[in-house]
Chains A and B, each alone.
Chain A
Amino acid sequence: MTTSDRKRSANRANAAHSTGPKTQAGKKRASRNALRHGLNLPLPLDEFGPELAALADRLQDGNPAKAGAARSAAIAQLHLERVRRMKAFILLEAALARRDAGSGSAGTDGDGDEISLAVTDQIARLLTLDGYERKALSRRKRAFRTLVV
């Protein structure tokens, strides 16, 4: 057996142990993974198509040679905006939940406004979204470098 054969069969054997969730609850939870925020999915063009075309057009600035980079930059920009909107939405939701729960506009102790308290409540999700924001910025940076040469 060659090394790659051995590797292949080891991979197969290992993969047999990783067949995903077994319980109904686990399967249900996993089925929602991609829907949690959708930030790993391609931009839905039916929703963003016209906006994407308009932004790409402005970035291209009349130079057909830059069409590809302009489109990549525009896609990254729209991803970036989605992440930023999602952050605001999470904060809004948390602030409204606090308000509805009656913890008051000045917080439980008279310190901190609603958004500060919402940031505190949602800090883990905000840190996760930071990762998506960094990724989108990095994609856009690569595209901008092509555009500004």
Chain B
Amino acid sequence: MADSPPPWRLPLSPEGYIPEDIRKMMLDGFLTSFEDFEAYEKLVLMIVEDVQPRGQIEWLWVKDVTDSTWDIYRARRAKAASLAMGRKDAIRALRKAYEGDRLMASIASLEDGEDEVDDIFMSLEHGSEPKEYDGEGLHSFPIMLERFGLTENSLQDIAYNNNLPKMEAFDRLIDNATARRDSVLREVDRRRDLGRRMREAIQTVDAAIDAEFE
């Protein structure tokens, strides 16, 4: 997939509506061959259909807003992936702690406890479902966490805390892209009608992106 990106399908026209030069700019190296061309194309079309830009300047603004939105999406995905990895590290740290005497002692009295905890850790690391246990052991990861005095959110917090500088850098990337987009939107607001259409288009796109991260 990385070596042969899907063919670019942005319409040069139904009514001739993505000017050749803008289309060329969109094609020319903004996306890498590892990225989802179809998702970018969908984003462009969502904005273009709502905004119906007229003239070169409006087209360039549309491209700015599309590209900044893509930058935001890229950074949010990277942040989410990094947090997911941090969460796994937190689980590993928890497992290490569990293997220490103090935490062993806290569950040693449970029927099937040690086996079940082992199994849960293994399944979490490999992304599979843990086995069912009949005894009074630990039946789910949240219950196990509770025995450690933690919740699902604690793991997220540990992951965030362990990667704080990186998380702040992701946030700066997201903030920068958002600021670029807002700056363009403020310029566009000077053209009242286009500004309203552009903001409406962006709200729809942002809602779709937010839904992916919820």
Segment 94-149 of A: residues with Cβ below 8 Å from B? 95-96, 99, 105, 107-120, 123-124, 126-127, 130, 133-134, 137, 140-141, 144, 147-148
Query: In the bound complex, do residue A116 and residue B169 qualify as a contact, i.e. CB atoms below 8 Å apart?
Result: no
Chain B residues within an 8 Å CB radius of A39: none
Does A59 contact B57, Cβ atoms closer than 8 Å? Answer: yes
Complex Cα–Cα for A88 and B40 (A): 14
Contact A89 B29 (CB under 8 A): yes
**Interface stretch among B81-89, B100-108, B110-118, B132-140?**
B81-89
B173 touches A113 (CB 8 A): no
User: Contact: A124 with B187, CB < 8 Å?
Assistant: no
Do A58 and B56 touch across chains, with their CB atoms under 8 A apart? yes
Instruction: Tally inter-chain residue pairs, CB-CB below 8 A.
Output: 112
For residue B184, CB closer than 8 A to chain A, the reply is: yes
Find chain B residues with CB under 8 A from A124 CB.
169
Given that A95-B34, A123-B170 are contacting pairs, would A112 and B180 also be in contact in the complex, using a CB cutoff of 8 Å? no
Q: Would you give the 0/1 interface string for B64-94, flagging 1 where the beta carbon is closer than 8 Å to chain A? A: 1001000000110110111011001000000
Residue with the highest number of chain A CB atoms closer than 10 Å, among B32, B67, B166, B187: B32
- Is the Cβ of A123 less than 8 Å from the Cβ of B169? yes
Whether B82 and A112, one on each chain, are in contact in the complex, defined by CB atoms closer than 8 angstroms, is yes
Contact B82 A77 (CB under 8 A): no
* B173 with A59: CB separation less than 8 A: no
Q: How many residues of A contact B (CB 8 A)?
A: 44
Asked whether B30 lies within 8 Å of A99 as measured between CB atoms, the reply is no
Contacts of A59 in B (CB 8 A): 56-57
**For B81, what are the chain A residues with a Cβ–Cβ distance below 8 Å?**
107, 111-113, 116-117, 120
Report Cα–Cα, A85/B30, bound state, in Å.
5
Q: Main secondary structure on chain A at its contact with chain B?
A: helix
What CA separation (Å) do A130 and B68 show in the bound complex?
11
| Set A81, A112, A134, A137: member contacting B85, Cβ < 8 A | A112
Contact for B78 among A89, A108, A115, A147, CB less than 8 A: A115
Contact A119 B184 (CB under 8 A): no
- Would A88 and B88 be within 8 Å (CB), given that A59-B56, A113-B81 are in contact? no
Given contacts A85-B30, A92-B32, A134-B180, contact A116 B82 (CB under 8 A): yes
The answer to whether B57 and A148 have CB atoms under 8 Å apart is: yes
A-B contact pairs, 18 of them (CB 8 A): A58-B21, A84-B29, A84-B30, A84-B67, A89-B29, A91-B34, A92-B34, A112-B77, A112-B82, A112-B84, A113-B77, A113-B81, A116-B74, A120-B166, A123-B173, A133-B180, A144-B187, A148-B191
List 8 additional contacts besides A107-B81, A148-B191; criterion CB under 8 Å. Answer: A96-B2, A118-B34, A123-B78, A127-B172, A133-B180, A134-B179, A137-B184, A147-B57
Interface residues of B (CB under 8 A from A): 2, 21, 25, 28-35, 55-57, 60, 64, 67, 74-75, 77-78, 80-82, 84-85, 88, 127, 166, 169-170, 172-173, 176-177, 179-180, 183-184, 187, 190-191
